[in-house]
Amino acid sequence: MEYTIKTIGVLTSGGDAPGMNAAIRAVTRAALNNNIRVKAIFRGYKGLITGEVKEFHTEDVSNIIQRGGTILKTARSDEFKTTEGRQLAYETLRREEIDALIVIGGDGTFTGGTLLAREYNIPIVGIPGTVDNDLWGTDATIGYDTSLNTIMDCVDKIRDTATSHERVFFVEVMGRNAGFLALNSAIACGCEAAIIPERKTAEEQLEHFIGSGFRKSKNSSIVIVAENSVPGGTQVLADTLKERHPEYDVRVTILGHLQRGGSPTANDRILASRLGVAAINALLEEQRSIMVGVQNEEIVYVPLAKAIHQRKDVQSDKVTALQILSI
């Protein structure tokens, strides 16, 4: 082994996700269990550059498994994208005697980690934490299940008012450039359609929705729209429908950042706990530049480059199921 790992650093970066605290807790306790010291890095790569580091003991991660957000704070650092920024980050690692880094986040976090690993030969393990679920190589990312359940609660409420007023609602949800939250929340809420970036254009998907004859059996409808899937924004869809059918009463609701908050679900807490332990095991097995994930309930190691660059697709049977069930 090139390095004997005596001390690890752990950080969260990019958009926060419910369950990140459970992952920090698991990483910390699994490391301590193997006599590895833990240095918590605050504010993601930004804090790595400025040296915001504190040693963590087991009590530092008590009473956080149920809390949303991240106790380590998070940030998106432009400075870390520069070679000078990464040089400063490396100097912090050396000064703090950190031998390996565990990064919790999405593809921006993994891209940064990959660069640091390549330039300074640092062992890095990624833990997938993002509500978007858009990382290849893992069936789920930490935070996705909680976000999905939050959306479901919101859409159920919108359904009440949509039914009372006999309206068509377009509900925009997060996902960055992926339709996992949109498609799965649409199925879970019995929605009439989902507009997702993985299939056809938004215009074509709207045509399909209009052509589905949704008004024959229903006086109200809810269409879930994945953010960034409609050029010009979700309101464009509402305006187009209104132009074609002035008799419809149409509304748009953008759920926004409430989708990132709240106490993590049992699924997210369990996933985060397993992946935190798996990340330490991976380092002990001399793995580097990998993401720990779960496939078919088993822990897997996936090269970080693959997790970032391969496109994870939505399941086609779900697209079909939604169409069949929305009549």
Q: Footprint of ligand F6P on this chain (CB under 6 A)? A: 15, 106, 130-132, 174-176, 227, 260
Answer yes or no: 132 catalytic. Answer: yes
CB closer to ligand F6P out of 39 and 176: 176
In sequence order, the β-bridge partners of residue 172 are 225, 254
CB closer to ligand F6P out of 96 and 132: 132
Eight-state DSSP code of residue 70? -
Which one of 16, 132, 134, 268 is the catalytic residue? Answer: 132
CB closer to ligand F6P out of 190 and 256: 256
Query: Smallest distance, Å, CB 55 to ligand F6P?
Result: 29
Query: Smallest distance, Å, CB 69 to ligand F6P?
Result: 12
Decide: helix, strand or coil at residue 173: strand
Question: Distance (Å, rounded) from C-alpha 225 to C-alpha 69?
Answer: 25
317's tokens? 């049977």
Task: Evaluate whether 155 touches 191 at the Cβ level (below 8 Å).
Answer: yes
Listed residue (81, 98, 83) closest to 45, CA to CA: 81
User: Could you tell me whether strands 100-105 and 168-173 are parallel, antiparallel, or unpaired per DSSP bridges?
Assistant: unpaired
Q: Provide DSSP, 117-147.
A: HHHH---EEEEEB-TT---TT-S--BTHHHH
CB closer to ligand F6P out of 188 and 321: 188
Query: Smallest distance, Å, CB 153 to ligand F6P?
Result: 18
Tell me the C-alpha to C-alpha distance, in Å, between residue 202 and each of 98, 148, 184, 209, 230. Answer: 47, 22, 17, 10, 6
CB closer to ligand F6P out of 283 and 314: 314
Task: Evaluate whether 45 touches 80 at the Cβ level (below 8 Å).
Answer: yes
Query: Smallest distance, Å, CB 195 to ligand F6P?
Result: 15
Query: Smallest distance, Å, CB 174 to ligand F6P?
Result: 3
Strand locations in the chain, DSSP E? 7-12, 37-41, 53-56, 100-105, 124-128, 168-173, 193-195, 221-226, 250-254, 290-295, 298-303
Name the residues annotated as catalytic.
Answer: 132
